[in-house]
Amino acid sequence: MEKLLKQILDRLSHIENTMATKEEVTEIRHTMANEFADIRKTMADELADVRNTMATKKDVEEIPYIKKTIIETKQELNTVNQIAEETREEVKRIVKVQAEQQKVIEVLSVRTTEHEAKLKFA
What is the tens place of the pLDDT at every residue in 12-42? Answer: 888 877 887 888 888 989 999 999 999 999 9
Write down the pLDDT at residue 1: 81
Q: What is the pTM of this model?
A: 0.44
Q: Residue 71: what residue type?
A: I
Write down the pLDDT at residue 10: 85
What is the tens place of the pLDDT at every residue in 53-108? Answer: 888 888 888 899 999 999 999 999 999 999 999 999 999 999 999 999 999 999 99
Average pLDDT on 7-14 reads: 85
